[in-house]
Structure 1
Amino acid sequence: MATAISGMDIYAPVFKVKRNGEEYPPKESILNIEIDEDLETPAMFRLSLNEEINIRTQQFRWLDDDKIKPGTEVEIFFGYATSKKQGMMKGRIKALTPVFQSTGNPTLSVEGYDLSHDLQKTAKKFTDTEVTYSTIAQDIAQANGLSAKVDPTEITHGKVERIKNEMDYDLLKRLSNEIGYEFFVRNKELYFREPKDNIKGDFTFEFRKNFINFNPRMTAASLVNEVHVTAWNVKDKESISESAKISDIKSSVGNPDFDNIIEESQGARVDVKIEGRLVRSQKEAKNLAKAELKRRNKGFIEGTLECIGDPMLRPGITVNIEKVGKRFSGVYYITKATHSVGDAGYKTTITVRRSIFMSMEDLLPQQDSHISGVVIAVVTSNQDPEGLGRIKINFPWRGEKDESYWARIASPMAGNERGMVFYPEVDDEVLVAFEHGGDQPALCYRSSLEWKG
């Protein structure tokens, strides 16, 4: 049973900052403290210190303190006097910003990030052949001194490589996006998991009871009913085709009539097609279609909610928001949370998202319609009526017979009335390049090596 937040039972907020296990700096010197957590970026903390100057030595207490410097690891706790303090973050100081004014005491702003920020600077070794994404996450966690909280993934990949200059953080973010997982670091634990966004929340907010304000927004501008994925299986020389419908991503806590809502808001059913992505099986294509359908519908209802501070409100959990009308009442997923303690007391502001499936952060990057690099095609004709040595081709990964116009063949030592040509036969595979990223083939390269197993 969901429990209501005791928003009006106000206790004295307390916080603590620790360095090497001891409280430092003392809370009496901290004017305010804030933590920003986001599923998409490393968590950040800020604290403002009331600076003091020693009249005799003319040294500043904090600005000249070797214990408060970039690289120092700290722990931050939030809570109330009558309850156990919650460990919010383990991180490192990254920046110091003093403020000197003509009157009053100077202040020192101390800023830093959680330990996931360190992963943006490291590229540790990991098992890269015949490996699952979850194994890679475990390897990187261990290599960086973190414990792994990893949900197992099913598909074994023959080879997984880094993109040029890709650090550990970017690698895990890319892999998690590909399969609809979440990746973040909390304290010294690395999470690589399925989003916990399809269950009723443990916290309940009600209008005029226990939140300060709630500002939701509903938009149907980019909603779609179905996503189709087509690709080409190089090994079997067969096209791959899969699709995902709203029923494939439906959640027990979402709107049961979401499919009709989309059709009514757009004036017709909206189907989109994804082609040319690298997938190796029907299952990968199905997962890609579902992830893309989630991404395109992720912004159905979004909003922010401000309430009396509660350290249990963290990104990656659901909350129930009730008595705000039929359209906006329901289960929401927290994607971002800001906890702040200062003169105004302890407040928490959360960014939430709601939809049929309780989608998480962006799952897949948007791609334009241009085709970059080279792609695989299959020869359909080599009988050029103009005798120019051109061929026609078909792109099987598009899942349809869309024969191209005549495309030239790249030949060695070619020139005016000289050179050599090796005609590919019908049904041979060729590599195709496109001029300026357009959708018409400009140049075909001789047949690629085909699988004969």
Structure 2
Amino acid sequence: MAKSPITSEMDIVSLTILVQGKKIHDSYQIISCEVHKEAYKVSTATIIFAFPYNPEEHNLFEISEGPDFVPGNEIAIKAGYNSQEEYIFKGIIVNQGISATSGSLPVLKVKCSDKAVKLTLGRFSRYYSAQKESDLLAGIINDSGLTAAVDATGFIHQQLVQYEAIDWDFIVTRAQANGMLVYFENDKLHVKKPVIDDSCGLVLTFGQDVYSFNGELDARFQMPGVTAHSWNVEDQKLQEAKSMEPVIHDQGNISGKKLADVPGLSAYEINTTGPVDQPELALWAQADLLRARLAALRGKVTFIGNALPQVNKIIDLGGFGNRFNGKALISSVRHLIQAGTWETTIGFGLDPEWYHETRNINAPQAGGLLPAIHGLQNGIVLKIDDDPQGEHRILVQVPVMGTSGEGIWARQALDYATSGKGHFFRPEVGDEVVLGFLNDDPRYAVILGSLYSSNHPPHYTSDQQNSIKAIITNSELKIEFNDKDKILTIETPAGNSFVLSDKDKSITVADQQKNKITMTSSGISMESCKNVVIKAPGNIDLMAGQNIVLKTSGGDVSLEGTNVEAKAKGSFSAQGNASAELKASGQTTVKGAVVIIN
């Protein structure tokens, strides 16, 4: 049963600090100790020590120089009353500093973080495939040497990528996308769904045990629901997933859903052009609405020090009116011990903004090596040959950078480029091209394509059916695709052509001398502007299912060979209108059943 933080055994505040498992020396004078824990943040502690008042008897900086407060040492803080203490912080020392002003003795400030601080250093890139969110997050945490406590998730990511991201940022953003909190408690890094009714064991009542209270009921971030959209590759259209009203802790008497009537949005949409799967899309929509609902009531309560409050626990509030009374979700805990007093401040509710909206989680553009260039840029081709580095780059001028410089050598992106083979099309000098930059680094330009304009118009004018596609070179060598008539044409500027036409059911080959071969349903037609010569090192066979006709309108027909044989299965006729001659330098034989001469 929840109880007030005020008890009968609260005479003397006690504080114990242990370094490497051992209590620090009693002579160390602690001015203050502050502990801060919050969802989505690494827990911290700051301890301020006074240096000795009598430097003649002591080394003034002995505390700083000693082995206790060296960064990396494990530290634990316990607090309580009358030496009945509980742990309020465990972590490591990450920093120590000395502050001094004229006329006063210096102080030593020791800063500590929980062990999850190791997840905040370094950027990493990883591929994840066929894993549940909970498994991959637990893997990152466990691989760092920490102990993970992650709520199980059901959706399996076929592919998820961590690109140049700090592990902590990656864990938090993915946790938020699943509607979960991230916090360090009891030597574990927790990734958990917000609790509904898991009390820390305290009830705070205004006028009895509360030092201060600041709370707000905020309708500005409330919406009736969330609809998430993504691109469906299979259906080639947007798909959507709608949120359901979440079940949350019971605080106040105006729900977030009711508050959504104030802005009065009829719909609230979030969109991504990526092909996010439907189950993940639904999680995203649900997480967005949950975050909004947990941000409707936010505030802080300060009361007499107590070690029971923890992040993602419920604390009961009373005496604050019906708008704020009830079960509040603890999102942060702060302990301040100084001058013999101990105050605890809990924060309730969540920040309405996402983690990625309040923190730059992306790697620096251009690697932080120099100011980055943003977006795509247009360029003008200056030179396409003689790359000084032999990397087959193209020299371009970027107009926004000015026209007086030498330009930038840019690589060219092609649809197929491999060693000794590929798609080889270079822009012309003077062409306008569109440029991208690797990692937004202005030194590493890539030509993504060329641009038409009124000054550089295309060869064709587009029609509504998009009938014509073509490749036309600078000398007007042309390959044309006519989708309307289903005609493929290959043509040179002099008129040599090859035409495949489904419309005419024909294939036509023609040259600039008007020689022509046409293949149609009627057969094959060959036209020559002059002679036709057919040569073969072997045989030439002419075969037909019906007649073969050799005819000349004004010339002779000659047959010549080592032996010439003419054979008919039926009749054989040879006739000359003017004369006919049959002769041989050797024997001549004329045979038949009957031979008629004249």
TM-score w.r.t. length of structure 2? 0.57
Q: Residues 51 and 60 of structure 1 are in contact (CA less than 8 Å); yes or no, is this contact kept in structure 2?
A: yes
Q: Where does residue 69 of structure 2 map in the other structure? A: 68
How far apart are 1:185 and its partner, in Å?
2.5
Detail structure 1 runs of 4+ shifted over 4 Å in the superposition.
Answer: 56-59, 122-127, 197-201, 235-238, 254-257, 359-367, 386-392, 409-425
Higher RCO structure (Cα 8 Å, ≥6 apart):
1
Paired residues of 2:331 and 2:348 also in contact (CA < 8 A): yes
C-alpha separation in 2, matches of 1:423 and 1:34:
77
Of 222-231 and 268-277, more deviation after overlay is shown by 268-277
Using the alignment, how far apart are the partners of 1:424 and 1:81 within structure 2? 91
Cα offset, 1:317, TM superposition: 1.3
Q: CA deviation at 1:388?
A: 4.2
> Does structure 2 conserve the Cα–Cα contact (< 8 Å) formed by 1:72 and 1:92?
yes
Return closer, same or farther for 1:417/1:201 CA change in 2, 3 Å cut-off. farther
The residue type paired with residue 72 of structure 1 is N
Alignment of 1:30-41 (within 5 A): 30-41=30-41
Aligned to 1:314: 310
Conservation of the 8 A alpha-carbon contact between 2:206 and 2:320: yes
The aligned residue for residue 185 of structure 2 is: 186
User: Which stretch has the larger CA shift, 194-203 or 207-216?
Assistant: 194-203
Query: For 1:152, what is the secondary structure of its paired residue?
Result: coil
Partner SS, residue 293 of structure 1:
helix
User: Structure 2: how far apart are the matches of 1:421 and 1:80?
Assistant: 90
Measured at CA, do residues 390 and 61 of structure 1 come closer, stay the same or move farther in structure 2, by a change above 3 Å?
farther
Conserved 8 A contact 2:183-2:311: no
1:127-148 deviation line (CA, Å, top 9, x unaligned):
8221112112221222222122
Q: Residue 382 of structure 1 corresponds to which residue in structure 2?
A: none
Match of 2:163 in 1: 163
Matches within 5 A, 1:353-372: 353=349, 362-363=353-354, 365=356
Inter-CA distance 99–419: structure 2 relative to 1 (3 Å threshold): farther
Q: Is the 8 A contact 2:21 2:74 kept in 1?
A: no
1:47 shift after superposition: 0.7
Distance in 1 separating the partners of 2:330 and 2:275: 31
- Structure 1 partner of 2:577: none
* Aligned with 1:333 (options 321, 329, 334): 329
How much does 1:347 deviate?
0.5
User: 2:105 maps to which residue?
Assistant: 105
State which drifts further: 47-56 or 288-297: 47-56
Q: Which amino acid aligns with 1:51?
A: F
Check the 8 A contact 2:16/2:79 in 1, yes or no. yes
The amino acid across from 1:78 in the alignment is A
Contact persistence 2:5–2:304 (CA under 8 A) = no
Equivalent positions of 1:216-255 (< 5 A) are 216-235=215-234, 237=236, 239-245=238-244, 248-251=245-248, 253-254=250-251
Change (3 A) 1:128 1:422: farther
* Structure 2 counterpart of 1:272: 268
Task: Give structure 2 stretches of 5+ with no counterpart.
Answer: 359-374, 377-435, 437-458, 485-598
User: Which residue does 2:571 correspond to in 1?
Assistant: none
Distance 1:11 1:413 in 2: 93
* CA distances 1:286-341 after superposition (whole Å, capped 9, x unpaired): 21111112233443221111100011112221211112111121221121221011
Does the 8 Å contact 1:20/1:74 carry over to 2? yes
CA RMSD in angstroms comes to 3.7
Q: Deviations over 1:23-53 (max 9, x none)?
A: 1254742221111111122111111112136
The verdict on how the C-alpha distance between 1:28 and 1:223 changes in structure 2, with shifts beyond 3 A counting, is: same
- CA 1:326–1:424: 2 relative to 1, 3 Å: farther
Q: What is the number of equivalent residue pairs in this alignment?
A: 385
The residue number in structure 1 matching 2:372 is none
Structure 1 residue identity aligned to 2:56: I
Larger Rg over CA atoms: 2
Q: 1:301 aligns with which of 297, 300, 304?
A: 297
Distance 1:222 1:28, change over 3 A: same
Q: Which amino acid aligns with 1:90?
A: K
Letter in 1 for 2:344: T
Q: Do the aligned residues in 1 keep the contact of 2:147 with 2:189 (CA within 8 Å)?
A: yes
The 8 Å contact of residues 177 and 362 in structure 1, kept in 2 or not, is answered as no
Q: Any idea what SS the aligned residue of 2:11 has?
A: coil
* Corresponding residue for residue 437 of structure 1: none
Please give the alpha-carbon distance, in whole angstroms, between the structure 2 residues aligned to 1:86 and 1:79.
Answer: 6
**2:262 counterpart SS class:** helix
Matched residue of 1:326: which SS? coil
Change (3 A) 1:57 1:227: closer
Q: CA distance change for structure 1 residues 363 and 100 in 2, over 3 Å: closer, same or farther?
A: closer
Distance 1:421 1:95 in 2: 71
Give, as a single letter, the amino acid of the residue that structure 2 aligns with 1:24: I
Indicate whether 1:16 and 2:32 are aligned. Answer: no
In structure 1, runs of 5+ residues without a counterpart are 354-358, 375-385, 393-405, 426-453
Alignment of 1:79 with 2:80, yes or no, is: yes
Report the CA distance shift for 1:280/1:197 in structure 2 as closer, same or farther (over 3 A).
same
